[in-house]
Amino acid sequence: MSFAEFVHMGGHGLYVWLAYGSTIAVVVALWLSTRASGQRVRKELKMGLKRQSKV
Amino acid sequence: MNPKRKSRLFTVIFLLTGATVAVALMLVAANEDLNVFYPPEAVVGGEAPINVNIRAGGMVKDGSVMRTGEELDVQFELTDYKGSEFKVFYSGILPDLFREGQGVLVHGQLEESGGFRATRVLAKHDENYMPPELAGLHEGQKE
Amino acid sequence: MTIKELWHRLGSPRWFYQMMGPWGTGLGVAAALLLITGTLWGLIIAPPDYQQGNSFRIIYVHVPTALVCQSAYIMMGVAGFLFLVWRMKLADMVVKVTVPFGMVMTALGLFTGSVWGAPTWGTWWEWDARTTSMLVLLFLYFGLYALRQAIPRAESAGRACALLALVGVINIPIIKYSVDWWLTLHQPATFTLTEAPSMPAEMWLPLLVNVIGVYCLMGAVVISSLRTEILRRECNTSWVREELMGEPA
């Protein structure tokens, strides 16, 4: 099987790659945003604590 | 369990039961309308309305597919393999999975003659998946 | 440890935060490994279907996403029940943090189903009982998200969401049995607990890998967002302060 054939998927390439592409992109984005919001909240809370300790 | 929790528990169970019963009654009442298509029995038996846009479904009868005249014109029969069959007339591109013995769903109107004039043909497929080599093997066994 | 002790511990945000960190990481790693394996397997090694050809491969992304969004909803319904009756803080947080995950997975299940329907059924969408009840699930998730935004008092918002989450569980058996109760365009289930899968092992094994993978993903995402939510809500307690000071920046 050549690479071109693999991409073509027997004429169903558009559908297969659309389904896989959207799923992979969305799952990766979901994971990154979950981690990012965790880091953001920790950072904000830590800054709040520092401010409190200075006062 | 303290009385406050107990009363909350009963309220929640009561609400949930009520909602379940309501939804179940609605589904039972709407039962027929929730079917996405009329089966061949309903089409032949006169349950399906005439000259209105409806959806009907069935299995494509073996040997019934005929290309008539123009290139895209096709007619075939839909059956439930239990004695109810009706003719479908269609002009257009058929889905890849359309073949004899396959389940299909047709959008269109039932005519007084008992024939169905389809505007769209959709292929139904079942949950049995098979690699091509294996499918060939099965075909071989049948013959 | 008695059952009562375990119950109280499980309900304690502090205990959950401190115990579940490694679990979140572990499930995240497992999810990544399983999903990469299952996806490549389904895309490259698994055979095409004798009728559908390569569009059959969409099953490996469609079934896991469409399954996990229903399980997430059931989990949320159970949490809603716990919150309504026992007022467990942690249960309210579960109801809150599961919504984005479930919403995204439902949307993916619907979208991949639509993309699969185009070449096989010959249509992107058909209003049958299965597709419609899945759309209802998506709107339930939207509703839960909007409801929490709409009610300013956190406690009232929690109760309203818990109730909606619990009542919405009724939709789950409807989704599951829609293909058996009514005539639909959608085919019956591929996987059931009681019967052998309706396809050979070379086809269902990658599917199983992806299904387990997506459940690990649910665990990882829910645990991670729960821990964030716990920090946010308990930020005025001394243990959170100690926790934040102890953690590397």
Q: Give per-residue pLDDT as tens, B8-41.
A: 999 999 999 999 999 999 888 887 778 888 999 8
Which structure tokens are listed for A35? Answer: 């981690």
Q: What is the dihedral of CA C1, C5, C8, C12, to 10 degrees?
A: -40
Contact C221 A38 (CB under 8 A): no
Amino acid B76: pLDDT: 92
The model's confidence at residue C185, banded by pLDDT at 50, 70 and 90, is: confident
User: Mapping DSSP to helix (H, G, I), strand (E, B) and coil, where does residue B55 land?
Assistant: strand
User: Mapping DSSP to helix (H, G, I), strand (E, B) and coil, where does residue B125 land?
Assistant: coil
Contact C54 A9 (CB under 8 A): yes
A28 in reach of chain C (CB within 8 A): no
The model's confidence at residue B137, banded by pLDDT at 50, 70 and 90, is: low
The H-assigned helical ranges of A1-55 are 3-8, 13-54
**C-alpha distances out from residue C30 to C24, C36, C213, Å:** 10, 10, 7
What's the rounded mean pLDDT across residues C228-242?
91
Q: Is the pLDDT of residue B142 over 60?
A: no
- Kindly report the nearest CA distance between residue B123 and chain C, in angstroms: 4
Contact A26 C108 (CB under 8 A): yes
d(C-alpha C129, C-alpha C144), whole Å: 22
Q: Is the pLDDT of residue C39 over 50?
A: yes
Q: Return mean pLDDT, chain C.
A: 91
**C-alpha distances out from residue B98 to A14, B75, C119, Å:** 20, 13, 11
* Interface test mutation site (partner C, options A28, A34, A37, max chain C beta carbons within 10 A): A34
Contact B16 C203 (CB under 8 A): no
> Considering CB atoms only, which of C52, C167, C170 is closest to B125?
C52
A35 in reach of chain C (CB within 8 A): yes
**C-alpha distances out from residue B40 to B52, B57, B73, C152, Å:** 16, 7, 22, 55
C-chain residues near A20 (CB < 8 A): 39, 43, 57-58, 61
Q: Is the pLDDT of residue A41 over 60?
A: yes
Q: Is the pLDDT of residue C182 over 80?
A: yes
Contact B36 C163 (CB under 8 A): no
| A28-37, B32-41, B73-82, C125-134 — most confident range | A28-37
Amino acid C225: pLDDT: 96
User: Domain-by-domain residue ranges, chain A?
Assistant: 3-54
Q: What percentage of chain C exceeds 90 in pLDDT?
A: 68
What pLDDT digit, counting tens, does each position of C102-145 carry? 999 999 999 999 999 998 888 899 888 899 999 999 999 999 99
What's the rounded mean pLDDT across residues B69-98?
86
Q: Is the pLDDT of residue C6 over 80?
A: no
- Kindly report the nearest CA distance between residue C3 and chain B, in angstroms: 14
Amino acid C24: pLDDT: 94
Amino acid B67: pLDDT: 84
Amino acid C183: pLDDT: 84
Q: Is the pLDDT of residue C3 over 90?
A: no
User: Mapping DSSP to helix (H, G, I), strand (E, B) and coil, where does residue B96 land?
Assistant: coil
Measuring CA to CA, which residue among B55, B54, B57 is closest to residue B41?
A: B57
Q: Is the pLDDT of residue B136 over 70?
A: no
What's the rounded mean pLDDT across residues B84-108?
88
User: Domain-by-domain residue ranges, chain C?
Assistant: 26-222
Q: Which partners does chain A have (≥3 C-beta pairs < 8 Å)?
A: C
The model's confidence at residue C58, banded by pLDDT at 50, 70 and 90, is: very high
Q: What percentage of chain C exceeds 70 in pLDDT?
A: 96
> Considering CB atoms only, which of C126, C127, C199 is closest to B130?
C199
Q: Who wins on pLDDT, C5 or B113? A: B113
Amino acid B138: pLDDT: 53
What pLDDT digit, counting tens, does each position of C187-204 carry? 877 666 666 677 888 999
Comparing B45-49, C14-18, C163-167, the range with the smallest average pLDDT is B45-49
Dihedrals phi, psi of A39, to nearest 5 degrees: -65, -40
Q: Is the pLDDT of residue C8 over 90?
A: no
The model's confidence at residue C242, banded by pLDDT at 50, 70 and 90, is: confident
The model's confidence at residue B141, banded by pLDDT at 50, 70 and 90, is: very low
What pLDDT digit, counting tens, does each position of C64-104 carry? 999 999 999 999 999 999 999 999 999 999 999 999 999 99
Amino acid C174: pLDDT: 93
C-chain residues near B94 (CB < 8 A): 122
> Considering CB atoms only, which of A15, A30, A38 is closest to C118?
A15
